[in-house]
Amino acid sequence: MPDTAPAAPASARRFTPEDRDTIHDLIRNRRDVRDEFRPDPIPDDVLRRILDAAHHAPSVGFMQPWNFILIRDLERRRAVHRVFEAANAEAEAMFPEGIRSTYRGLKLEGILKAPLNIAVTCDRDRCGPVVLGRTHNPEMDLYSSVCAVQNLWLAARAENVGVGWVSIYNEPDLRRILALPDHVAIVAYLCVGFVDDFYPAPELALKGWRQRLPLDAVVMDEIWQEDH
């Protein structure tokens, strides 16, 4: 009888040490751009490559739950900015008095300066009520969408395009501006655009907010180690 077994899939390409070094260099030089955007638009081919990289992120059950809402309209961005300002004032008041002036100096968003804002969402109903890999951990679709954000961020950095993640907003206000249905979650609100320069290290580290932890401080063997 003829062999009806499926053919083994062809192997994906292998990467060279030079490829490896490039990706690690790219990861180490990714930056959260906050307020230093230029107004010139991102060329269509560059934006397409960035979005295509995001769309190639891994996802639970291959459900690809993400969408990318491109926001260029100035009035809409002004509305988002007002939402940010209200929430940012609330956030500032949560910090101890002694560091509030440092917080105010961080310039935590570029909503109006960046020529493009991107809302990354997660369609939690995509693929129906039962999804491979999500049966016992339903939040895995949200984590998948975060993987898309990271792909987008790294691809943008490879294009020398800056990205800033705005996380300070009251969600109902932003949902209203974006007209999101109930089953769609906001995963990230990003400011995207060219910059003149990237910081040589994370801005929050350079400005003394926090420093990177040593790798050995966050690696454990087998189980959680409280005194690690």
pLDDT tens-digit series, residues 80-120: 999 999 999 999 999 999 888 888 888 777 999 999 999 99
Give domain status of residue 40, yes or no.
yes
Tell me what pLDDT residue 109 has.
76
Domain assignment present for 16: no
Q: Which domain holds residue 69?
A: 31-210
Categorize the per-residue pLDDT at 10 as very low, low, confident or very high, splitting at 50, 70 and 90.
confident
Residue 3 in any domain: the answer is: no
Whether residue 5 is contained in a domain is answered as no
Percent of the chain past pLDDT 90, that is, above it, reads 86
Residue 216 placed within a domain: no
184-194 sheet: strands from edge to edge: 66-71, 116-123, 184-194, 161-166
Question: Is the pLDDT assigned to residue 122 strictly greater than 80?
Answer: yes
The verdict on residue 73 lying in a domain is yes
Lowest mean pLDDT among 4-8, 35-39, 189-193: 4-8
Q: Confidence class of residue 194 from pLDDT cuts 50, 70 and 90?
A: very high
Cα 210 to Cα 199: distance, rounded to the nearest angstrom: 15
Q: Answer yes or no: is pLDDT of 35 > 90.
A: no
Cα–Cα distances (Å) from 125 to 64, 122, 135, 219, in that order, read: 11, 9, 13, 35
**Encoded tokens for 131:** 């999804």
Q: What angle do CA 106, 111, 115 make, to 5 degrees?
A: 125
Q: Give pLDDT, residue 105.
A: 83
Q: What is the CATH number of the domain that holds 119?
A: 3.40.109.10
pLDDT at 3: 58
Please report whether residue 131 resides in a domain.
yes
In the predicted model, is pLDDT for residue 2 greater than 70?
no
As given in the structure block, the two tokens for residue 38 are 């230029």
Work out the burial of residue 181: count CB atoms within 10 Å of its CB; fewer than 13 is exposed, 13-18 middle, 19 or more buried: exposed
Whether residue 107 lies inside any domain: the answer is yes
- Total domain count for the chain? 1
